Amino acid sequence: MSKRLFDIVCTALGLLLLAPLLLVLALWIKLDSPGPALFRQERVGRFGQTFLIHKFRTMRVDNAGPQITVGADSRITRAGVWLRRTKLDELPQLWDVLRGAMSLVGPRPEVPRYVALYPADLRELVLSVRPGITDPASLRFRNESELLAQAADPEREYVETVMPAKLRAAADYVREATLASDLRLMWRTLATIFH
């Protein structure tokens, strides 16, 4: 089975089974704070094409500030705290997988301003595949915002330390990925969420 066919079958089934949960979460977000249930943001996908990624909104609508989240960010809503901790805010990305902008497993898509900082060789390699909902770097940096909160300059820490480590992990994934390794990563991701 091809990776794309696997993505389509799994996400179609997932969206069907999770529809009640998605509706409940969307309603909760709407009741918790003013604004839409979904958050969309421009990310860089396969071959450098930009697309809008979908997540459940976890921040206030007037969330002006840095594009990274640091520690107990004051912009995060009450519902958002729980959604981020459980990673359920990522569920709307199943739609992004179904429509072909993403894959279940692949390098996490970044915002254009950070992709512009990628070294050319790694940029070409990492952007040669569809970005994913999960990957090895997502698991390794699951508590990224807490890590950045410990830095004197979180933005600099992200650009100089975290992002290069995530990029190396993404490149290793692209070089070595198989359907079997994707299944292992999906299992590890689910185990982490429900741990």
* Residue 96: both structure tokens together: 């992004």
Q: Where are the alpha helices (DSSP H) in the chain?
A: 3-32, 78-86, 93-98, 112-115, 120-126, 136-140, 144-149, 154-157, 163-176, 179-193
Give burial (CB, 10 Å; 0-12/13-18/19+) of 103.
buried
Amino acid letter, 24: V
Distance separating alpha carbons of residues 109 and 53, to the nearest angstrom = 9
Q: Are 71 and 145 in contact (CB under 8 A)?
A: yes
Residue 98: other Cβ atoms inside 10 A? 16
Q: Is 109 helix (H, G, I), strand (E, B) or coil?
A: coil
Q: Are 140 and 158 in contact (CB under 8 A)?
A: no
pLDDT in tens, the chain (195 residues): 699 999 999 999 999 999 999 999 999 999 999 999 999 999 999 999 999 999 999 988 876 666 566 556 778 899 998 998 888 999 999 999 999 999 999 999 999 999 999 999 999 999 999 999 999 999 888 888 788 878 888 889 999 999 999 999 999 999 999 999 999 999 999 888 776
| pLDDT for 66 | 62
Q: Are 173 and 92 in contact (CB under 8 A)?
A: no
| pLDDT for 151 | 81
| pTM (two decimals) | 0.88
Half-sphere exposure at residue 88, Cβ-oriented, CA atoms within 13 angstroms = 18
